[in-house]
Structures are given as structure tokens and as C-alpha cells.
Amino acid sequence: MVSVTVGLPEVVPCSGKKSTMVGFDENLVRVMDELTSGGSNLQILPIVGMGGIGKTTLVQNAFHHPYIEHYFHKRIWFTISHEYSVREILLRQFNNGEDQESNETLVGLGERFYRSLFGERYLIIMDDVWSTKVWDDLKMFFPNNNNGSRIMLTTRESSVAISLGSYKPYVIGFLNEEKSWNLFCEKAFAQEDCPYPELEETSKNIAKSCNGLPLAIVVVGGLLGKSNMTREYWEFVAENVKAFRNSKDSGGCLKILSLSYNNLPIHLKPCFLNVKEDKCFMCGLRTSLQRIDLNEVHDVSQLTSLASVFVCSTCQNKYPSLTRATVVRVRLVKRNFLGRVPKYDEILLPTSVRYLQLNNWEFVSPSAIALLWNLETFC
């Protein structure tokens, strides 16, 4: 079996470890049946659904199922995403997924790949497909051996699934309330139900607020499973998740993911800064953005790491030396004096900032002010 991950994957699904499948067992059975039945000609099975709905998890569990491993002589996994290189895809196939220099032409690589599949019953996964172009670019390298070989692709785009699918697209829907609760309990408590009576009602509200989206349930449940089992903290999380659910914008799941991001140790946060919203860290605009890396200072010892942030073209022109700036991560709190749970946020500030107005927000750690070396006015 050959397993290759190509592009810039969010998930590396080829470890052989089974992922959580609560609520998806019937989907797994149906997908496996589709893969191993039907005509002998090469066919494409598209799996379609929104981001976080569980497409990759479903396909991963089918890919590693013992029956599928036995049925297909070769299994290959490609993660495509928005940007891909056909030559990279084929070259990594022969280098165990590693980037290596080669002077071999695309034609030569394609011929080798084609020959490696010729006569074999193979399964190829194309994960995270965004357009039909990737199929047009790769299909010439997949021989039709008339022996039951299959291509399975995942996509968020219904039009892609309809255009490419030999089958009717397999659509993954949301979990119902019962399955959402079962999945939440597995991630938060590692058992089938809540063992803390004082947290059960809040837990059910949190699971319900995730709107049946498996990724949101897994992230929030995993976060709470590692937290202190205190009612105050769980109610704080419940309030935030509910607010994200009721938000009119489309970033509810991203904001739920940010709950987990905000609880990472400070030295790990630079690895996951793409969890934050795509907006200029200086002015908040969401247009004409460019990602840049800045030095982030962590304490008075001036220990630094790289922080990847978005900057709009206006701020780039206004502050031409911004790429040489040093930033500090500041955690803020807005307290509510009516007894409600306080709200928290986190921002990056240039250490060169001179004027700062927080509008009813406060520093969680006032010592952070010491890192704003040029601050002259604070209100």
C-alpha cells in the first residue's frame, strides 16, 4: 500500500489510526458498499459536505478498513486543496511522500505512475478538491483496468461532485441531537454519558449549540475534557459557543475553533495562527490582505518567535517599516458587573504603539504593558 499526502493538508489522514466515527457508522458501511460494488470500469465516488462535517474522517476510516485494504491491491491518498502541482503529486508518489529534487519530466513521471497502476485494482483518494480542473490534470495517469478500481474524492462544492461523479454524490449531513451528545461525551468525558450531574445541563447546551457539526463538537469537547471541571468555566464556554451559533456571519465554526486556540500554551500559538480570522491585525479590514511574519516577544527577557499575521495594503503603505516590527500578544477581558461571565479576547500589538484605547477592555495580565515599550497614552 502506498500512501501520499500532497499540498498543504490540514489533516494528515494516513497514519492508520481510526478517527472518531460517532454517528457515521452507517455512512461508512454505505461508502464501502459503493466502493466494492457496481461496474468493473473505473468510477468516481464524490463525498460532498461543508467544512468540518466529517468528509475526511469518513474517507479515512474507509481507506484504513481491513476489508478495503484487502479488496484493493493499491491505495493512494492525495490531499489536493486550493493549490497543487501535478508534478509534485506524481514525484512524491515515488519518494514516500517526501519532497526531493528530480530532473524527471512530467511526462516521464506520468508514464511511471500509469505503469505502477496498470493491471492493479486500485483506490485513489483525492481529498479536498475545489475544482474539476484537478481531475482534468490527473485523469490521463489513471488507467481504466476494468477490474473495479475506484477514485473517491471529497469536496465542499456540489457542482464539482455532480460534474465528476460516476455515482450520485454522497452528501454528509449534520448530526442529530442524540448523536451530537454521544460524540461530545466521548470527547469530553471518554465515556457514553456525563459523569458530573452539575455539568450535564450545561454540557447538553454546548453540544446542541454546535449545530450538529462534528468538527465543532470534537474541538469543544476536547478542550473541555482537558479543563477544570468547574461550572463557571463550562458556562463561560457555553455562552461563547451559543453566541457564535447565533452570529449572523459565516465564521461560527472558525470562532468555535478559536476557543481551543486561545487555550494553547503561548509557545504553540504561532503554529496555529491561521485559526484567527483573516483580517488586518492593525486596523481590522478584511480586504487586500497579505500574510507577513513578525517577531513576537513573549516576556521581558525578549524571547521571541515568529507570528504570522495579515496586513492590509493600506497599513503596509502607511507603515512601510511594519515588516521589521516586533509584536506582543495581549490577552484582554471585559468584565460584566451584572454577574455574567466575563468575555475574553486576544490581540497582537506592535511594541512601538504609542496610543492605546481599549474601550472597556482590560489587560488580563497588567504586566503585558511593560512589553509595550513606547506606550505614551493608555485609556
Model pLDDT for residues 36-59, shown as the tens digit of each residue: 998 899 999 999 988 778 898 899
Whole-number percent of the chain with pLDDT over 70:
72
Euclidean distance between CA atoms 134 and 226, whole angstroms: 40
Euclidean distance between CA atoms 151 and 46, whole angstroms: 8
pLDDT in tens, 71-104: 999 999 988 877 788 888 888 777 665 556 678 8
Average pLDDT of the residues of the chain = 77
Task: For the chain, count helices (H), then strands (E).
Answer: 13, 12
Cell of 198: 452539575
Cell of 274: 491561521
CA-CA-CA-CA dihedral for 196, 198, 203, 208, to nearest 10: 130
Q: How confident is the model at residue 11 (pLDDT cuts 50, 70, 90)?
A: very low
- Mean pLDDT, residues 186-197: 91
- What are the Cα distances from residue 374, in Å, to 15, 23, 205, 328, 330? 49, 54, 45, 12, 15
pLDDT in tens, 297-320: 765 445 556 677 788 888 888 777
Cell of 65: 478498513
Euclidean distance between CA atoms 70 and 32, whole angstroms: 12
Number of Cα atoms under 13 Å in the Cβ half of residue 20 = 22
Euclidean distance between CA atoms 271 and 105, whole angstroms: 35
Euclidean distance between CA atoms 125 and 128, whole angstroms: 10
pLDDT at position 21 is 54
- What are the Cα distances from residue 87, in Å, to 126, 203, 276? 15, 48, 32
pLDDT at position 121 is 96
- What are the Cα distances from residue 369, in Å, to 59, 109, 355? 48, 57, 12
pLDDT > 70? residue 24: no
